[in-house]
């Protein structure tokens, strides 16, 4: 009889132990899922931030073409960081005020020819408050008959930086592919 009560006590004791273990396991899993949810939330927030950064950078790249074609060199120069640099076929210039003056000298007056840039193939890589971008440009000009033709084509290689909460060019290098110039001499 004692052995039966002893056995029943063990069962009851085992049942309490299992219940306790289940509560500990539930608490542990709740802790892990809370950590996991917090990590997922942080990961989601960081992924959304990268997407928002890429979209703002894409807008900077497009605004560059729009202000250039409109000959709005004040707006154009504001796309560059305070120590931003433009490098291209006309030369190299650094700083927004210098870039504005340089472009006004190189491309004076309004765009009476109605030429424009097509900007494509954006590849943007964001790393915190810095980014790189690569893209293609095509310069469309009117032919003698007024129809649009490609005048030049090339690519941009960019370094961007977040300055005062907005993306700006730290360095923009414009390179021509068509016409590419003479091949290197052998």
What DSSP string runs through 95-149?
SHHHHHHHHHHHS-S--TT--EEEEEEEEEEEETTEEEEEEEEEEEEE-TTS-EE
Higher-scoring residue by pLDDT: 31, 78? 78
- Quote the pLDDT of residue 5: 47
Q: pLDDT of 112-164, one tens digit each? A: 999 999 999 999 999 999 999 999 999 999 999 999 999 999 999 999 999 99
DSSP 19: H
Distance CA 138, CA 150 (A): 7
The full set of domains in the chain, from first to last, is: 2-178 (3.10.450.50)
* pTM for the whole structure: 0.76
Distance CA 93, CA 182 (A): 26
Contact 50, 126 (CB under 8 A): yes
Helix (H) / strand (E) containing 152? strand 148-163
Distance CA 151, CA 143 (A): 9
Largest alpha-carbon pair distance within the chain?
Answer: 114
């Amino acid at each position: 009889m004692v052995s039966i009560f002893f056995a029943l006590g063990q069962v009851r004791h085992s049942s309490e132990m299992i219940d306790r273990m289940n509560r500990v396991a539930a608490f542990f899993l709740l802790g892990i899922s809370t950590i996991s949810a917090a990590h997922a939330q942080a990961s989601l927030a960081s992924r959304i931030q990268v997407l928002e950064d890429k979209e703002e950078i894409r807008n900077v790249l497009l605004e560059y073409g729009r202000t250039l074609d409109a000959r709005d060199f004040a707006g154009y120069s504001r796309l560059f960081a305070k120590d931003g640099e433009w490098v291209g076929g006309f030369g190299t210039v650094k700083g927004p005020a210098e870039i504005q003056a340089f472009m006004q000298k190189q491309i004076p007056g309004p765009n009476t020819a109605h030429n424009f840039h097509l900007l494509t193939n954006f590849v943007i890589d964001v790393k915190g408050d810095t980014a790189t971008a690569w893209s293609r440009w095509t310069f469309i000009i009117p032919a003698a008959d007024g129809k649009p033709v490609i005048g030049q084509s090339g690519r941009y290689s960019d370094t961007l930086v977040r300055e005062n909460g907005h993306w700006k060019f730290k360095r923009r290098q414009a390179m021509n592919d068509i016409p590419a110039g003479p091949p290197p001499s052998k």
